[in-house]
Amino acid sequence: MSQAAWNAYRERADKMAAALAGSDGRVRLRKPTSNLFRPRKQSANSQIDAASLNHVIEIDADARVAEVEGMTTYADLVEATLPHGLAPAVVPELKSITIGGATTGIGIESSAFRYGLVHNTVEELDVLIADGRVLTCSREQRPELFYGFPNSYGSLGYAARVRLGLIPVSPYVRLEHIRFAEPEALFAAMDAECARPTCDYLEAVYFAPGEFVLSRAQLIETLPAATEPSDYTWMRQYWKSLRQRREDYLTIHDYLWRWDTDWFWCSKNVGAQLAPVRLLLGRKRLSSVTYQKIMRASHRWPLRLLQFLRPRTESVIQDVDIPIANAADFLADFEAKIGIRPVWICPFVVPEGGFSLFSLRTDTPYINFGFWDMVRSDKPDGYYNALVEELVAGHGGKKSLYSRNTYDESAFWQHYDREAYQALKRECDPEGRFPGLYEKTVQGR
Ligand SMILES: Cc1cc2nc3c(=O)[nH]c(=O)nc-3n(C[C@H](O)[C@H](O)[C@H](O)COP(=O)(O)OP(=O)(O)OC[C@H]3O[C@@H](n4cnc5c(N)ncnc54)[C@H](O)[C@@H]3O)c2cc1C
């Protein structure tokens, strides 16, 4: 254990706590990147600079845990753990996602069929609350805060430190891409894997009616003779390989970041799927961080004007969770009424209940459907995002709140435990210095 690293963490956390205690009125978090996808109102809030809380404090290889500051990106944490032959149990696939952001924002990835969601892999948190105190919580210590933090979106306080579980990994991954024509057969295969895992990572992509590709990934120590790992970090695109190959090999590093180079397939929205653009951007700039910057700039004046040159569209960028038994029906409805393709399909188990702001059934696996695109629309703005909410509710599911939400307040609190939330809000932020959950995630304040 490096005492120096812990002392440095405490110094940084104390500095942030002092800034919080020393300011008054409404507060917002200032951090270098964000994966939020909803319009945010300019507010008179003072901003707390959290960027400095981005260090890995300690990797305990024997206990297989990492102690990290809340604003540390998964990219930096993975760089620190791989030399130990370890990786976080669940690694959200966009490099700029931070450990605190994924813990509060509901994180998922292809190992979730074994370990659940990101917050299921968290063991302890230091939460900086509105009056500048830092509260340590875990399943044993202040459990109501620990179980109330996921899906709170910084409205109760900020994760200054996170202790999370690590798993052993091998240097390489062998991938099998299996075609399915029927969704029922695909979800049955995923259900069986959730019950008795026979691989290390599992996900699928829906390309079109009758065209699903299930990817099973196995950790391997060495590559077969005369085999080189594939490289999708520049001219070639990982998502296209799913339709072209039945087997593939990647380094574990490139497997964990396979979706970041093309933001799944969303790089097409900024023309980065075109070879000349890829050649120009090069490996370093072909990443979700670059595309986010371009997307945010395109919403600013005068680029905003370009929008009037093309047909009216509505941005539908969502991740929704549906009990596996309802997954095929949900997808059929989604295809008929919204029709975005491709769709990312990621199964996950629910190893424990009790997360008051994101309570899920524990007797069934779920399917996370991720879809991110513009829908041509002659409907009132928000129509398609509201339709997503209706479909999710209609199939007994839950929607993560990182993007656009159209619920009215009473409908919102039917999905999230208002009483538990208000009790925590009274304890952590009685003066309402942080915007409330509904205010923040629906009203964009
Ligand atoms: C296209 C797209 C695809 C996505 N796919 C996935 C996916 O497959 N897997 C997945 O896991 N996630 C996915 N996400 C969602 C993403 O994980 C969440 O939005 C997550 O919250 C982002 O974390 P961040 O660190 O970027 O935080 P931000 O986007 O900066 O913040 C998210 C929210 O959390 C709050 N917050 C940030 N840090 C902290 C902290 N330390 N303490 C308390 N509150 C904090 C912020 O105030 C904000 O309200 C996707 C998002 C997008 C846009």
pLDDT at 42 over 80: no
Average pLDDT of the residues in 50-61? 94
pLDDT band at 33 (very low <50, low <70, confident <90, very high): confident
Both tokens of residue 84?
Answer: 């130990």
| Averaged confidence pLDDT in the chain | 94
Determine if ligand 1 sits within 6 Å of the CB of residue 69.
no
Q: Which of 30-39, 47-56, 294-303 has the lowest mean pLDDT?
A: 294-303
Structure tokens at 283: 């490996």
- pLDDT of 214 above 90: yes
pLDDT digits (tens, 9 = 90+) for 161-188: 999 999 999 999 999 999 999 999 999 9
Residue in 36, 77, 317, 404 to alter for ligand 1 test, most ligand atoms within 8 A of Cβ:
36
Q: What are the tokens at 289?
A: 């961080």
CA-to-CA distance for 113 and 189, rounded, in angstroms? 12
Ligand 1 pocket check for 97: Cβ under 6 Å = yes
What DSSP designation does 224 have? P
In our burial notation (b when 16+ CB lie closer than 10 A, e otherwise), range 130-150 reads beeebbebeeeebeebbbbbb
**Confidence check: pLDDT of 117 > 90:** yes
CB 371 within 8 A of CB 298: no
Report, as an integer, the average pLDDT of 302-312: 68
Which of 373, 181, 127, 395 lies closest to 266, judged by CA?
A: 373
Q: Residue 49: pLDDT band by 50, 70, 90 thresholds?
A: confident
96 alpha carbon – ligand 1 mean position (Å)? 9
As a whole number, mean pLDDT of residues 395-416 equals 95
What are the pLDDT digits (tens) for 325-347? 999 999 999 999 999 999 999 99
- Note the pLDDT tens digit of each residue in 377-388: 999 999 999 999
Gap between the Cα atoms of 372 and 318, Å rounded: 6
Q: What is the pLDDT of residue 36?
A: 79
- What tokens appear for 7 in the block? 């002392």
* Ligand 1 contact via 34 beta carbon (within 6 Å): yes
Say how many Å lie between the CA of residue 71 and the centre of ligand 1: 11
Q: Give me the residue label for tokens 């999370």.
A: 164
> Residue 293 has what pLDDT?
86
| Cα-Cα end-to-end distance for the chain | 41
Q: Whose CA is nearest to atom 13 of ligand 1?
A: 107
Residue nearest to ligand 1 atom 41, measured at CA: 100
436 C-beta closer than 6 A to ligand 1: no
pLDDT at 50: 84
For residue 226, give both structure tokens.
Answer: 């005369």
74 lines ligand 1 (CB under 6 A): no
> How many angstroms does the Cα of residue 316 sit away from the middle of ligand 1?
16
The token pair that represents 42 in the structure block: 């300019």
Q: Residue 44 pLDDT more than 60?
A: no
pLDDT at 41 over 80: no
CATH architecture of 3-169: 2-Layer Sandwich (3.30)
Distances (CA, A) of 149 to 100, 136, 220, 298, 354: 10, 12, 36, 33, 11
> What's the pLDDT score for residue 362?
97
pLDDT of residue 40: 65
Question: What single-letter DSSP state applies at residue 287?
Answer: S
d(CA 411, CA 391): 14
Residue 308: per-residue pLDDT: 66
Q: With contact defined as beta carbons under 8 Å apart, do 211 and 251 qualify?
A: no
Check if 3-169 and 309-420 are the same fold. Answer: no
Six token digits for residue 391:
């479909």
C-alpha to C-alpha distance for 320 and 92, rounded to whole angstroms:
15
Q: Which of 43-52, 81-90, 296-305 has the highest mean pLDDT?
A: 81-90
What 303-311 contacts at long range (C-beta under 8 Å, 24+ apart), as own/partner pairs, is 311/376
Mutation pick for ligand 1 pocket among 97, 256, 404 (CB with most ligand atoms within 8 Å): 97
Is the CB of 368 inside a 6 Å radius of any atom of ligand 1?
Answer: no
Q: Please state the domain extents for the chain.
A: 3-169, 172-301, 309-420
What's the pLDDT score for residue 45? 62
Percent with pLDDT over 90 in the chain = 86
Closest Cα to atom 36 of ligand 1:
101
Residue 29: the pLDDT is 77
CATH 3.30.70.2520, applies to 309-420:
yes
Question: What is the pLDDT confidence band of residue 132, given thresholds at 50, 70 and 90?
Answer: very high
Dump pLDDT digits (tens) for 138-154: 999 999 999 999 999 99
At residue 1, does pLDDT exceed 70? Answer: no
Q: Which residue, 353, 316, 356, 348, is CA-closest to 437?
A: 356
